[in-house]
A and B are shown apart, each in its own frame.
Chain A
Amino acid sequence: MRPFDYVEPRSVDEAVALLSRGGERTRLLAGGTDLIPRLRRRQWRIDRLIGLRRIDGLRDLTLEDGVLAIGAGVTLEELAASTTVSDVCPLLAEAARLMASPQVRALATIGGNLCHASPAADLAPPLLCLNATLRAIGPSGGRDIPIGEFFTGPGRSALRDGELLVQVRVPAVEGRGVYLKFSPRRAMDLAVVGVACFRSHGVATVAVGAAAPTPLRVPASPDEAAARCSPIDDLRASAEYRREMVRVLTRRALEIVP
């Protein structure tokens, strides 16, 4: 890796100040599982990293007034193991368990997964189905971003300069969900296609990953879901194959949560 400078602020306000002052070559570091490989491959050039691990509250996970409030720094391991998450949104716990490996899940955070904004981010389809809200804090204060407006392109999110994601808020809603992740290997593999489905009071919501430039809500019908996607060809699969998998997995998901 190329050399860079490193700071560990103790509060969100301090982090925001450092981030807004820093400009383009300043980046936040959460678990580092997306960032460090990029720096090692020299895909990004940075002058300074802001480590988030000492900020109080970013790792809190609470259920308050019917909302599961997950700090951006909560790890995938914590999501997978938390009885609160398993009780209130088993769909999210299930998706976390399907990600990476134990040694990566112990580092990787929910905030990093969303802010990296990969089209294949596995937590995105479940959170889209569950209507999560993302709480950001920046130089001009805090705001809540509906997750449907968060992803703006591959690697791009609605966060503005100097803004930090602090919390993922998931309304606790009765219902049943499933996340179907299709990948060649059972462990340690990114999704070729991921389909989440959540049915509440008879109404099904479906969202897909790795099938468009961003994770995306799609109609709860196999044909319409496939039609709505705009997948790409890459070394994992062709666009045509991905579209077909969206159709198949959407049908399966709707059958699993009737």
Chain B
Amino acid sequence: MRHSIAMTVNGRRTVLDVEPHRTLLEVLRDRLDLLGTREGCGVGECGACTVLLNGRAVVSCLVLAVSADGAEITTIEGLAKEGRLDPIRTGAIQCGFCTPGMIMAAKGASVLEGNLCRCTGYAKIHEAIAQSASPPAGRETTSA
């Protein structure tokens, strides 16, 4: 049986019918076309699917969409200002798969214990986050 749910997604009220066994991650990607939220492991271990649920960073692959009824959701797309994201320092992104989850975790939980990156070795990501938290004057912003 389908359930009607209402969520506020990136500031926009969204009402849709979902099957109870669909995760919030599936609904964001497959129904709302918000493809910035990634599916890595699908079982809570990699953090690629991190979104803010009522202001808290959570792994959206473990949340049933029906249980997000009434919630306020922010995805990486919701952080873009006028369609653009802040520039991110060189080296913090290689393939980029983990990046949206990293940014959402930094926003909602301010630590990255729950995010895996298979490319960078983390040091550059930590530097980039430290910089964006307190941007120094004239920072290097070559890659976006």
Interface residues of A (CB under 8 A from B): 1-6, 8, 29, 31-33, 36-37, 39-41, 49, 51, 53, 77, 100-104, 106-107, 186-188
Contacts and interface: CB of A to CB of B under 8 A. Distances in A.
Contacts, number: 92
Given A102-B109, A187-B114, A40 B42 contact: yes
The 8 closest A-B pairs by CB, nearest first: A101-B114, A102-B109, A6-B20, A187-B113, A37-B43, A106-B56, A1-B21, A103-B59
Interface stretch (B28-36, B61-69, B77-85, B87-95): B61-69
A103 B20 contact: no
B38 to A, nearest CB: 13
Contact of B114 (A3, A4, A104): A104
Contacts of B105: 102-103
Nearest to B47: A103
A167 B59 CA distance: 26
Contacts of B57: 102-103, 106
Contacts of B114: 100-104, 187-188
A31 B62 CA distance: 8
B116 to A, nearest CB: 9
Counting chain A CB atoms within 10 Å of each CB, the highest count among B44, B56, B61, B115 belongs to B44
Nearest to B114: A101
Contacts of A8: 66-67
Contacts of B56: 77, 106
Given A33-B62, A188-B45, 11 more contacts: A4-B20, A31-B62, A36-B43, A40-B43, A101-B47, A101-B114, A102-B109, A103-B50, A103-B114, A104-B114, A107-B58
